[in-house]
Structure 1
């Protein structure tokens, strides 16, 4: 996990600690937060649609843009490398895993783990999630 993301999660957890309203508000914010993967998927569909339309109407070479975007997504799926990731990270996007770590830490802080479904309660918290909570 990116060090800046860890520090931001730690700051949020410290800010929310002991305040059920802040925890509830932050959990609602996390429910609405777009993760890196969702942004990539939605942008891929938009770029593809616009490329196809532009290729049909403007210039036949324009579809090379969605093809290069699709190649980036294939590269991401194959080896986890995405050329745009540093830019998207600077814009504040986090992975779904990072968002889930914060969500689980807040759930634990609020004391909901006993009431969580068995699939969540039985899941092992990741090392990075534990490290964030301890800071």
Structure 2
């Protein structure tokens, strides 16, 4: 996990500690947060359409953008590598796993262990433990 993301999660957890209302609000915010993978997949069709239109109208080289975007989606599906990840991280996006780690920690803080970890696309999240950065 990226150190900045880990520190951000720790800061969020510390700011919510002991405040049930704040924890509940943060959990709702996490429900609405888009992860890296979802952004990449959902924007692929938009980028492809714009690239095809730009290629037909503006410049024949424009389709190279949707081709590289599609290659990123294929590479993500094949081996989990995401070539545009540094750019998306600079925009403030986190991986689904990072979001889920924060969600699980907040759920534990609430004492709501009956709910268990949420699933991602029908898969259970592996229990690798949660490390919170303390300052």
Superposed pair shares fold, TM > 0.5: yes
1:28-80 per-position Cα deviation (integer Å, ceiling 9, x unaligned): 11011110111111221110111222333444443222112111222222233
For residues 125 and 64 of structure 2, what CA distance do their matches in structure 1 show?
43
1:61-115 per-position Cα deviation (integer Å, ceiling 9, x unaligned): 432221121112222222332222112112211000100010011011011113x
Structure 1's consecutive aligned runs of 4 or more residues displaced over 6 angstroms after TM superposition are none
- Please, which moves more after superposition, 43-52 or 91-100? 43-52
Equivalent position of 1:125 in the other structure: 127
C-alpha spacing 1:80/1:98, structure 2 compared with 1 (3 Å): same
Alignment coverage as a number of residue pairs: 130
| TM-score, scaled relative to structure 2 | 0.83
| TM-score, scaled relative to structure 1 | 0.83
More helix by share: 1
RMSD over equivalenced CA pairs, Å: 2.3
Equivalent position of 1:62 in the other structure: 62
SS of the counterpart of 1:131? Answer: coil
Equivalent position of 1:27 in the other structure: 27
Query: Structure 2: which 5+ runs fail to align?
Result: none
